[in-house]
Amino acid sequence: MNIGNLTGIFLDTGKLDEIQKYHTLGIVRGVTTNPTILVKDGVGGGWSGIEKHCREILQLIDPLPVSLEVISNDPREMIEQAQMFAGWGKNVNVKIPIHGPEGGTENLRIVHELEASHDIRVNVTAMMSAQQCLLAAMAGATYVSLFGGRVNNMGYDSVGEIRRLRQLLDSFGSSAKIIVGSTREVLNIIQWFEAGADIVTALPELLEGMLVHPYSKETVQMFLRDGARLSGPRLRMKT
């Protein structure tokens, strides 16, 4: 399976029980994490604890991809961490922010080096515009992650930005996959796919919201009530 070509919904969590639940439904195509998610989900124990937890996720959904994010802004450490992550499983994608906390161009050099020299798949993250994503794609990133929810929060139109990015990547003949994350509501998921996203990341509760509809519940309840009336005591199936 070419995990770089997968499209669909990536589950945004680090909790093993949530990953197991939705993976067994067959509806997710990968998992994304970041340091904030892992801290929130209670991962501790330093590097040994991080490695143990991430290896469990990788094995749980193998061969589907898992995005693991570096936790340093030092170029040498970022490359070392990316190589370490890649050694934990063949389905690792390494998340590199588009630039450092004060800006700069160094992170794109790292993206290019990891993809071109180390054969490590990179997911460039924390991007808010099509122009940032275009540069990341040109640097060789396998995935470019646009934070659609934050784009909307800033008063801009995430749908328009996704469409713009889709047109740019197609016109450049880029194979980079568009990930749209920072998903705030169920409606975002369908809107962003319609706008041209290859992948949308979603929290477990948003998948639940996609699946469960009050009218579906009402209809199923009606079918079961009428089914019980229809069968009656004499028509019940024998066991």
Would you call 217 a catalytic residue per the annotation? no
Q: How far apart are CA 231 and CA 239, in angstroms?
A: 15
* pTM of the entire predicted model: 0.92
Q: How far apart are CA 239 and CA 227, in angstroms?
A: 18
239 residues of the chain, pLDDT tens digit each: 444 457 999 999 999 999 999 999 999 999 999 999 999 888 989 999 999 999 999 999 999 999 999 999 999 999 999 999 999 999 999 999 999 999 999 999 999 999 999 999 999 999 999 999 999 999 999 999 999 999 999 999 999 999 999 999 999 999 999 999 999 999 999 999 999 999 999 999 999 999 999 999 999 999 999 999 998 765 555 54
Nearest CA to 128 out of 170, 177, 165 is that of: 165
15, 21, 40, 95: the catalytic one is: 95
pLDDT for 55-90, tens place per residue?
999 999 999 999 999 999 999 999 999 999 999 999
Three-state DSSP at 11 gives strand
* Domains in the chain: boundaries: 3-212
CATH code reported for the domain at 3-212: 3.20.20.70
CB 42 within 8 A of CB 7: no
